[in-house]
Structure 1
C-alpha cells in the first residue's frame, strides 16, 4: 500500500471514529447496530483495513450521515 493511500485510510478512520464518538457510541455499539464485527470497525478506524463502497455506505447510515458527510474533508 502506498503511503498516500495509507494516509487517506487513516484520515477516513479518524473521521469515522469522530462521528461515532459524537453519537456517544462505542465500536461494539456500532458493530451490533450494523451487524458487523467490532474488529472490522476497529481496523477501519485505525486505517489498517480498506472499506468497500457498500461497507462505507452502511457505516454512514449507521452514523446518521451520508457518504458525502463521511468523506467530508478528505
Structure 2
C-alpha cells in the first residue's frame, strides 16, 4: 500500500522508496519503522516521524513510497 493511502496511526515499515536523494538526506529509507502523525486535507502533505523529527512528504512522493503495517 502507498504511504499516501495509509490512514491508520499504527506503525508501519517502509518497503520501497523512489530514487530521490532528498528522501535519503531526510532519513527516509527502506526498513524504517515509522507512523503517520497527521495528514493535511485536499491532497496536502503527510507528516511522518523519522527518529525524533517529523518530516512532511508531498502527495506525489508519498504516493510512490510503499509501506506495510507492523504487527
Whether TM exceeds 0.5 here: the answer is: no
User: Relative to total residues, which structure has the larger helix share, 1 or 2?
Assistant: 1
User: Taking structure 2 as the reference length, what is the TM-score of the superposition?
Assistant: 0.33
User: Taking structure 1 as the reference length, what is the TM-score of the superposition?
Assistant: 0.32
User: Relative to total residues, which structure has the larger strand share, 1 or 2?
Assistant: 2
